[in-house]
Structure 1
């Protein structure tokens, strides 16, 4: 009977150990799940912070570039250089030259003007006030609405064709 008492005691200890192990596994599993959620949120926030810092750095670089452009445009020498390059302007007393190629078009950069008329050459261009008055006249005459097929009288054997 001593052997069977020891076996019962061994089973009770083993069952108690299994219950403890199961409880420990459940506690560890709950901790892992709660920490995993917290870690996921932490990494998402860290990514958002890094993205925001990159946007801030890009905005600061853009601001620095715009401030340097403002500084350049406040310099009269830069403004005159841009007027010469872009618009072909000259300082009073200078003589300007344009090099023309064999095809009759100017060589190099600079401003080119398109003198082709956009409207019919035989028709005089309308002045802005004429165009504006035309829009007022058009607003007074709304477009005619088409009849709604759903509002027609139903077709019956008595109805006559139109």
Structure 2
């Protein structure tokens, strides 16, 4: 009875009834012959990439792309966070410097020293000295003119100045020697000629 249930290739036949809904091994052979293949020809191999495998590869590719974009956004955010932390550290250092400067300005001695250095203020009764001309001392004959002693000029209308500038633009002046600086009694030209 065991031999009845085996087909000629040695495979077991399914148990149960055979009927119109079930194919028998002979029917498969007859179908192969009808398809134009010999009965002894081996069955075709299934393709390696099935529909399920293609769907699985497609799903994995979509997941990889979404993961890569999420990873890129994560790395971008981390770099922004690092930059912002650096800015916060710089600003805290600047705030600390400004607070130290504020405390220094609350000291009256520091304020007095800054007024002397920056604004050239002096205390009452002190004599200030201002060094002119790169540290060269002024002679006793030097005089500085008072701005009140300059002759007053009558104001001119704006169109007079505009017309003079048009005339000068058409006929530029010739090179003239620079004005003399008579603070110490000599002119700059004289100093250059003697050297």
- TM-score, normalised on structure 2? 0.45
Spell out, residue by residue over 1:61-94, the C-alpha distance to the aligned partner (whole angstroms, 9 max, x if none). 2211211110111111111111111122223343
What residue number does 1:95 align with? 127
Task: Give 5+ residue unaligned stretches, structure 2.
Answer: 1-37, 139-145, 156-195
What residue number does 1:109 align with? none
CA apart distance, 1:2 = 7.2
CA apart distance, 1:98 = 2.5
Larger helix fraction of residues: 1
User: Relative contact order, CA 8 A, sep 6+: which one is greater?
Assistant: 2
Residue in structure 2 matching 1:7, options 31, 34, 43: 43
- TM-score, normalised on structure 1? 0.53
What residue number does 2:84 align with? 52
Q: Provide the rounded CA distance (Å) in 1 between the counterparts of 2:53 and 2:112.
A: 86
CA apart distance, 1:47 = 2.0
What residue number does 1:64 align with? 96
Q: Provide the rounded CA distance (Å) in 2 between the counterparts of 1:45 and 1:34.
A: 17
The verdict on how the C-alpha distance between 1:67 and 1:34 changes in structure 2, with shifts beyond 3 A counting, is same
Q: Secondary structure at the match of 2:132?
A: coil
Q: Secondary structure at the match of 1:92?
A: coil
Task: Give 5+ residue unaligned stretches, structure 1.
Answer: 107-114, 125-162
Verify: 1:43 aligned to 2:75, yes or no. Answer: yes
Runs (4 or more) in structure 1 with deviation over 4 Å come to 102-106
Residue in structure 2 matching 1:75, options 96, 100, 107: 107
The verdict on how the C-alpha distance between 1:3 and 1:51 changes in structure 2, with shifts beyond 3 A counting, is farther
The verdict on how the C-alpha distance between 1:92 and 1:18 changes in structure 2, with shifts beyond 3 A counting, is same
Spell out, residue by residue over 1:88-135, the C-alpha distance to the aligned partner (whole angstroms, 9 max, x if none). 2223343322333389999xxxxxxxx989xxx5469xxxxxxxxxxx
Verify: 1:18 aligned to 2:54, yes or no. Answer: no
Aligned residue-pair number: 108
Q: Provide the rounded CA distance (Å) in 1 between the counterparts of 2:127 and 2:94.
A: 40
